[in-house]
Amino acid sequence: MQPFNIRELTRTDTEALLAFEVRNRDWFESHIDARDPAFYSLSGVAKHIEDYLADFEMGAWHPLVIEDANRKIVGRANLKSIDSTLSSAEVGYRIDQQFCGQGLATLALRHLIEQARERWKLKQLAAYIFKENVGSRKVVERCGFLPHAHSPGGEDVEAECRFILSI
């Protein structure tokens, strides 16, 4: 695998992040929920980054990007909805279509697990994956997540599978 670097999202990522999201918009929308169309502009992405960094400061979100050797953004990974009371969070990731199949999502998820354990002292991570997203399912299972029933009355129970990892 060529060298990749995982680092925290910053305010200077606006242009590179917009390029990454525009380049992969159709690809992502075929696997995960579509973003608001207003997101796809410099001001939309700048606001998105501000929101994520505000949540990071509050300890509710840990936003990361994956870069290639040329410092191009080729993926994103987030610890989401960090709950220090329940010691839990959700994981999310998306990889540039042209860089898929090289183990990048697995690398990113392993990094998130390490951050969750070491930095945030969490005990449980959850992943929500559409049933037809075979690649993502493979990624979480490879990292030790196990399928788990949704809580009764939860949304999208039919469409999504919930996976849990105790760490």
Ligand X SMILES: CC(C)(COP(=O)(O)OP(=O)(O)OC[C@H]1O[C@@H](n2cnc3c(N)ncnc32)[C@H](O)[C@@H]1OP(=O)(O)O)[C@@H](O)C(=O)NCCC(=O)NCCS
Nearest to 7 by CA among 56, 53, 76, 110: 76
Distance CA(79)–CA(67), nearest Å, equals: 18
By beta-carbon proximity to ligand X, the closer residue of 106 and 124 is: 106
Query: In terms of CB distance, is 117 or 131 closer to ligand X?
Result: 131
Task: Enter the DSSP assignment of 113.
Answer: H
Nearer to ligand X, 56 or 99 (CB): 99
The answer to whether residues 116 and 167 touch, using CB atoms and an 8 Å cutoff, is yes
Least spacing, CB of residue 161 vs ligand X, in Å: 9
Q: How far is the CB of 107 from ligand X (least distance, A)?
A: 7
Smaller CB separation from ligand X, 25 or 50: 25
Whole-number minimum distance, CB 82 to ligand X, in Å?
18
Residue among 118, 109, 107, 123 at smallest CA distance from 165: 123
Cβ at position 42, least distance to ligand X in Å: 23
Amino acid at 114: E
Scanning 6-162, the segments in alpha helix (DSSP H) are 14-23, 25-29, 42-57, 104-118, 134-142
Task: Point out which residues bind ligand X (CB under 6 A).
Answer: 28, 31-32, 93-95, 100-106, 129, 133-136, 138-139
Q: What residue number has its CB nearest to ligand X? A: 135
